[in-house]
Amino acid sequence: MKRRRGSIAWWLVFLLGVLYFFLPLVATLDFSLKAKPPFAAYTSSLQDPKFLGSLLYSLVIAGVTITASLALIVPTAYWVQLRVPRARSLVEFVTLLPFVIPAVVLVFGLIRVYSRPPLPFTHTDIGSSALLVAGYIVLSLPYMYRAVDTGLRSIDIRSLTEAAQSMGAGWLTILWRVILPNLRVALLSGAFLTLAIVLGEFTIANFLARPAFGPYLNLLSQSKAYEPAAVSLISFGLTWLAMIAIAFLGRDTRTRIEIGGAH
């Protein structure tokens, strides 16, 4: 009897949580469908070249960020584990710095340092985009490093390395053909989390005046009524897809906590 009453209270807590999760989404959907004719908000958003342009831009930036971040982190984590374990705490400390330095502070410093000679990144489009990628690599450091490090721990990199070396492989070959394929799951989940962060990020892209997805939605909300609702839902759907992909990848291993950070 007592247990059952407890259970009802827990159901209520759960229902409250469900309401909190879904009411904003339902309201957004409801609002997006008020445009006449139905779905006009979606069709006009999808036909807006700026929508596709900004989404494409953010996807490209995400791709470059993920590639560069992996190129930086995989060799580093590998090397730390194999050769310089005493550097571990220092490297880990650096990868956790983004938790201490909020995005708005990071972009503040980046703009002040790289908007004047000798490194006037922000004076050109390509330079600003490069700076954006650098900022996103910094944001992704904690998640990427942890994903890669956990992945490396689960395989015997020492034996793999020695086996490859004895067959005459160089460092690049070892990393590319032996270590990377063994880290597939870890790398993909790190990559999808970075994708979700980059697609939703607003602060850094906005201050660097980049035509990314976040700033686009912000601008759209100042000029249109129903389209922002449609695009918000699309954005939520993309986050959802990235998270589902991570859950799907992690289904064999123990469920891992994935926490993003671009609020």
Partner 1 sequence: MTAISERAAPLARPARRFSRSWLGLAPFFLFAIFFIGAPVTYLVLGSFQNNEGQTTLQNYADLATPSIANAFLITIEVSLVTAVVGGIFGFLLAYAVILGGLPRVLRDALMTFSGVASNFAGVPLALAFIFTLGQLGMVTVFLKNFGIDPYASGFTIYSKLGLELVYLYFQFPLMVLIIAPAIDGLRPEWREAAENMGASSRQYWQRVALPILFPTLLGTMILLFGNAFGAQATAYQLTSGLIPLVPLLIGNQIAGDVLHNPGLGYAMAMGMVAIMGISIAIYTLLQRRAERWRR
Interacting residues with partner 1 between 208 and 227 (CB under 8 A): 214, 217-218, 221
Judged by CB under 8 A, does residue 201 bind partner 1?
yes
Judged by CB under 8 A, does residue 84 bind partner 1?
yes
Stretch that binds partner 1, among 38-46, 47-55, 148-156, 253-261 (CB under 8 A): 253-261
Judged by CB under 8 A, does residue 120 bind partner 1?
no
Q: What is Dmax (Cα atoms) for the chain?
A: 75
Judged by CB under 8 A, does residue 123 bind partner 1?
no
Judged by CB under 8 A, does residue 231 bind partner 1?
yes
Applying CB under 8 A, among 53, 109, 120, 170 the residue interacting with partner 1 is 109
SS (H, E, C) 27-75: HHHHHHCCCCCCCHHHHHHHHCHHHHHHHHHHHHHHHHHHHHHHHHHHH
Applying CB under 8 A, among 35, 110, 157, 164 the residue interacting with partner 1 is 110
Q: Which of 191, 175, 173, 184 is nearest to 151 (CA)?
A: 184
Angle between helices 49-82 and 213-223 (to 10 degrees): 150
Judged by CB under 8 A, does residue 94 bind partner 1?
yes
Please state the closest distance from residue 243 (CB atom) to partner 1, in A: 5
Helices (H), ranges, 116-262: 125-153, 157-166, 171-173, 180-182, 184-200, 203-207, 213-223, 227-249
Site string for partner 1, 137-166 (x = CB under 8 A): xx----------------------------
Applying CB under 8 A, among 108, 127, 182, 188 the residue interacting with partner 1 is 108
Contacts of 231 (CB under 8 A, 6+ apart): 45, 51, 216, 217, 220
80 versus 151: smaller Cβ distance to partner 1: 80
Stretch that binds partner 1, among 51-59, 151-159, 174-182, 231-239 (CB under 8 A): 231-239
**N-to-C CA span, the chain:** 44
| Residues touching partner 1, count (CB under 8 A) | 87
52 versus 209: smaller Cβ distance to partner 1: 209
Angle between helices 40-47 and 49-82 (to 10 degrees): 70
Applying CB under 8 A, among 26, 52, 89, 189 the residue interacting with partner 1 is 26
Q: Would you state the structure tokens that stand for residue 128, as one six-digit string?
A: 């600003």
Judged by CB under 8 A, does residue 46 bind partner 1?
no
Judged by CB under 8 A, does residue 63 bind partner 1?
no
